[in-house]
Amino acid sequence: GESVGLHLPTLSVQEGDNSIINCAYSNSASDYFIWYKQESGKGPQFIIDIRSNMDKRQGQRVTVLLNKTVKHLSLQIAATQPGDSAVYFCAENFASNTGKLIFGQGTTLQVKP
Amino acid sequence: DADVTQTPRNRITKTGKRIMLECSQTKGHDRMYWYRQDPGLGLRLIYYSFDVKDINKGEISDGYSVSRQAQAKFSLSLESAIPNQTALYFCATSVRASGRAGELFFGEGSRLTVL
């Protein structure tokens, strides 16, 4: 079946360093990808998205990179802060322009002071 | 107040009982969703509704039913709860606008335990 997976379940970084969270997807027909952040006890929160006709998109302190050749997605967080500690999910839109998303398993980001 | 409100936030029940999880939103969005999250896993789509008269099954709809009572309300029912339905359930909304439909707004979740 189709899957969206993350390479590492936990990532630990020093405060102030950059973080890179990776995601692999298997559906070459997917055309829209989204990153969500889930803090403890809360629902996921949209961070940034990217369409398949792009290979990079930047937000505030975050950058998403898409490599369609190897079906790889990454989220880069610049100058990681304690408030960035959370579980990060990539999601794949398997029906264009809907909220029908396939989520990856998530990566826990731990920020050390 | 939260834009997407789920009730109850926590519920413990027994096998065979009927359970309803409710969701209401003040965002004015047409589209509403129910997702399930299990420990160590991502979220999986149970049901979704694009408007009051449009309800569709997601990837794991067996054992669940839904009702879209109004644009702002979308409830999830477990007719006869079983232990493997123990999970964290999320309601979400999105706009219809092309290019933004994947931006979901989630509630804070309803933790259900079935004994």
Reported as a single tens digit per residue, the pLDDT across A9-30 is 899 999 999 999 999 987 888 8
Residue contact A99–B101, C-beta within 8 A:
yes
The strand ranges marked E within chain B are 4-7, 10-13, 19-25, 31-37, 43-51, 54-57, 65-70, 73-78, 87-94, 105-106, 110-114
Write down the pLDDT at residue A61. 96
- Distance in angstroms (rounded) separating the CA atoms of residues B80 and A8: 37
- Distance in angstroms (rounded) separating the CA atoms of residues A86 and A100: 23
CB A49 within 8 A of CB A35: yes
- Distance in angstroms (rounded) separating the CA atoms of residues B101 and A3: 20
CB A104 within 8 A of CB A6: yes
Write down the pLDDT at residue B106. 96
| C-alpha distance from residue B38 to each of A50, A97, A106, B41, B49 (Å) | 26, 26, 11, 5, 22
pLDDT tens-digit readout, A25-49: 878 888 889 999 999 999 999 999 9
Q: Any chain B CB within 8 A of the CB of A81? A: no
pLDDT tens-digit readout, A47-74: 999 998 999 999 999 999 999 999 999 9
CA angle (B89, A72, B92) in 5-degree steps: 20
Write down the pLDDT at residue B1. 60
Q: What are phi and psi of A84, to 5 degrees?
A: -85, -10
- Distance in angstroms (rounded) separating the CA atoms of residues A63 and A65: 7
Cβ neighbours, 10 Å, residue A4 = 24
Statement: residue A99 has pLDDT above 90: no
User: Which residues in chain B have Cβ-Cβ distances shorter than 8 Å to A42?
Assistant: 108-109
Write down the pLDDT at residue B103. 87
**Min Cα separation B7/chain A (Å):** 14
Cβ neighbours, 10 Å, residue B8 = 13
Write down the pLDDT at residue A93. 83
Cβ neighbours, 10 Å, residue A36 = 27
- Distance in angstroms (rounded) separating the CA atoms of residues A94 and B59: 11
Write down the pLDDT at residue A2. 29
Residues of chain B under the 70 pLDDT cut: 1-2, 97-99, 101
Q: Which residue has the tokens 């160590």?
A: B40
Q: Which residue has the tokens 């589209």?
A: B31
Write down the pLDDT at residue B101. 67
What would the two tokens of residue B47 be? 């049901």
What would the two tokens of residue A35 be? 């990153």
User: Which residues in chain B have Cβ-Cβ distances shorter than 8 Å to A101?
Assistant: 43, 45, 102, 104
Write down the pLDDT at residue B98. 63
Q: List residues in chain B touching A: CB distance below 8 A.
A: 4, 31, 33, 40-45, 48, 50, 58, 90, 92, 94, 98-99, 101-109
What would the two tokens of residue B32 be? 């509403």
Peptide bond just before A9 cis, omega within 30 deg: no
Write down the pLDDT at residue A3. 36
Optimal mutation site among A98, A105, A107, A108, interface B, most CBs of chain B within 10 A: A98
Q: Which residues pair with A90 in a beta bridge?
A: A35
